[in-house]
Copies of this chain bind each other. A is one copy, B any other.
Amino acid sequence: MQAAVIGIGYWGPNLIRNFLASEKIDRVYVFDINKSRLDFVRKRFPLVTIADNIEQILNSDKIEMVAIATPVDTHFDTAKKALERNKHIWVEKPFTSSVEQAVILNQIAAERKLNIFVDHTFIYTGAVKKMKEIIDNNELGDLLYFDSVRINLGLFQSDVNVIWDLAPHDLSIMFYLMNKKPVAIAANGVANYYGHENIAHISVYFENNCFAHFHVNWTSPVKIRRMIAGGNKKMLVFDDMENSEKIKVYDSGIEMKEKEGIYHALVQYRIGDMYSPKLVHTEALALGVEEFINSIIEKRKPLTNGDDGLNVVKILEASDASIKQKGKLITL
């Protein structure tokens, strides 16, 4: 099998390295409109084939899969073309710039029986896989809330706000772990520097009093990447800044007591032991590439597919609408 990587920005070299490392990939083509990036690739990865232009890649019969790592507003055109030339596609997050675009791509892929892999890389980390296992084993009980913080002093993206840049990571994890359909969202925040928001808070409402919140910020002096999943049996914290013990499961919770005397005594909290499971350290991107290739071989949808990409883009689009109206509730 042959693969191509289009777009060599921050993430592109990682894609190249992992496609090269796969034993199922014989040859890797690369293209970027920026010549200096191609020079960099030529030096760093002497074994890749530099394409002259995108058409060379799209016209090749031998290239079965195309990875698109260009800016998000170009995803749709490139992805559409690639699907129409019968390529399976790998698209960086966020999947598309709009819900409409995502729906169209998913439709084309379905008609042509092609695979769309959306690079929600975190889904393939040892930490997220362990969280999924814990939640599916019902260790936490019913999930009551999900809280995510991803803040840092980071590079502003020129084309999107902080929500489109950072929240796809956390939203994709939320969908994977919670397996519930959100019903409405509200987003607040501020654009301190120019048109795009650098701070945002997204509240997501689910049925049955389940709630999620996402805090993203490009202008924090400290780097925090932490998620809390609160269940009615146990609670879990994932702190990605820890060198070890990234996941901690707390046998802690709230208990409602029967009514008696004063109401005050009805709600009590309980603190128990904590444990931190061992995590597998295989590189997430390597597992993602493996999943993409295997899904093609096995003729099945990959774990992080176009539907997952669409779900995330729905929230992103609704967040934009909400934040422009200072938190107006948007029903999904």
Contact = CB atoms under 8 A, between A and B. Distances in A.
A103 interface: no
Contacts of A282: none
B230 A221 contact: yes
B275 A275 contact: yes
A158 B262 CA distance: 9
A186 B322 CA distance: 12
A250 B193 CA distance: 19
Interface residues of A, number: 73
B276 A156 contact: no
A101 B108 CA distance: 63
A186 B326 contact: yes
A252 interface: yes
A213 B201 contact: yes
Contact of A203 (B201, B243, B250): B201
A1 interface: no
Interface string A177-211: 00000001010111111100011010101000111
Contact of A186 (B186, B219, B221, B251): B186
Interface in A267-290: 267, 269, 271-278
B269 A154 contact: yes
A24 to B, nearest CB: 16
Interface of A: 46-47, 144-145, 147, 153-158, 184, 186, 188-194, 198-199, 201, 203, 205, 209-211, 213, 215, 217-223, 228, 230, 232, 235-237, 241, 243-245, 248, 250-254, 256, 262-264, 266-267, 269, 271-278, 325-329
